[in-house]
Amino acid sequence: MSGLAVRRLSGALGAEIQGVDIAGDIDNIAIATMRNALSEHCILLFRDQKITPAQHIAFTERFGPLQELTLGSYLHADHPEIFVVSNKPVAGKPSDTRNTGRHWHTDMCYTPHPCRGSLLYALEVPPVGGDTVFANMQRAFDTLSDGMRAMIENLRAVHDLSRVPDFKNRDPEATRKIVADNPPVEQPLVWVHPDSGRKSLLLSEHITCRLAGMSDEESKPLIDYLIAHATRIKNTYRHQWRAGDLIFWDNRSVMHCAPGDYDMSDTANRRHMHRTTLAGPKDLLGTTA
């Protein structure tokens, strides 16, 4: 494919891929270029895309198998591969996904096999706000002191989905199911990217509740420190969405957060996104805690 260009988005992470129409034919060389750019820059932005759910799914599949999603009420009615992140009411009730991702998180860290990445496509966005912020977890690891890196490198952490504070605002039945299906799981605190060999921190606010073998109280200062360190402004990229933007993030090297920085009391402010998810490899060892 001619005309593909990679333009960096910030000092910390992110690149815009220019000259690609996701709905069109994309050759394998262009896909390989994007794969390399993702490994280097952690997130990729594609502007001005006009894609159907089927095209969104087909593009995602070029990078690997999709994650099977389980929460029926959150999914696209005709395309269950798509998770709908939206503040549009569903059957007259507030959507359960309207507050998705309000805390810093690594997707599916609470499962034995966290996903490889996600592709979030903006169909409708508020006039201001509704941003998503990404933190570079490789840079976060690299910028710790030698002593801290050596101390944490072989630690494991417990991730417990039931700690998500927003669950109290969601449909209790759906919440009970997702928590019952996902008992606490132990993961390495530092994981190694299979493509680049770079190390990064595997963390989520609230969900990463303790270090293996320690109490919550003992673990909290270190977990809080690492999250604060990783999310310093200089280690992040904040995306202000336009309708037609698609962001592909590498879940093995970023944490992300949707701060909800728009006026949700104004029902004219619609934020409606479609997200596909790439399944994680089965070789990241996680044992039930």
Footprint (CB under 6 A) of ligand SIN, residues 253-272? 256, 258
Look up residue 182 and give its DSSP letter.
Answer: S
Q: Where are the alpha helices (DSSP H) in 9-92?
A: 28-41, 53-61
Would you say 163 or 256 has its CB closer to ligand SIN?
Answer: 256
Footprint (CB under 6 A) of ligand SIN, residues 117-176? 120, 132
Which one of residues 103, 116, 163, 275 is an interface residue with ligand SIN (CB under 6 A)? 275
Which one of residues 34, 43, 57, 85 is an interface residue with ligand SIN (CB under 6 A)? 85
Q: Where are the alpha helices (DSSP H) in 79-204?
A: 137-142, 146-152, 172-181
Q: Which residues contact 38 (CB under 8 A, 6 or more apart)?
A: 44, 117, 248, 250
Q: Which amino acid makes up residue 182?
A: N
Report d(CA 134, CA 46) in Å as an integer. 16
Would you say 202 or 273 has its CB closer to ligand SIN?
Answer: 273
Report d(CA 120, CA 110) in Å as an integer. 20
* C-beta of residue 250 within 8 angstroms of C-beta of residue 135: no
Contact call for residue 114 and ligand SIN (CB under 6 A): no
Rounded least distance, CB 239 to ligand SIN, Å: 8
Rounded least distance, CB 273 to ligand SIN, Å: 6
Contact call for residue 115 and ligand SIN (CB under 6 A): no
Would you say 229 or 238 has its CB closer to ligand SIN?
Answer: 238
Question: Two tokens at 103?
Answer: 């805390």
Rounded least distance, CB 208 to ligand SIN, Å: 16
Question: Two tokens at 48?
Answer: 């001005």
Contact call for residue 84 and ligand SIN (CB under 6 A): no
Would you say 132 or 235 has its CB closer to ligand SIN?
Answer: 132
Question: Two tokens at 87?
Answer: 């503040």
Say how far residue 69 (Cα) sits from the centre of its chain.
14
Which one of residues 60, 100, 138, 187 is an interface residue with ligand SIN (CB under 6 A)? 100
Contact call for residue 204 and ligand SIN (CB under 6 A): no
Antiparallel, parallel or unpaired: β 15-18 and 43-46: parallel
Would you say 101 or 114 has its CB closer to ligand SIN?
Answer: 101
Would you tell me which residues interact with ligand SIN (CB under 6 A)?
A: 85, 100-101, 120, 132, 256, 258, 273, 275
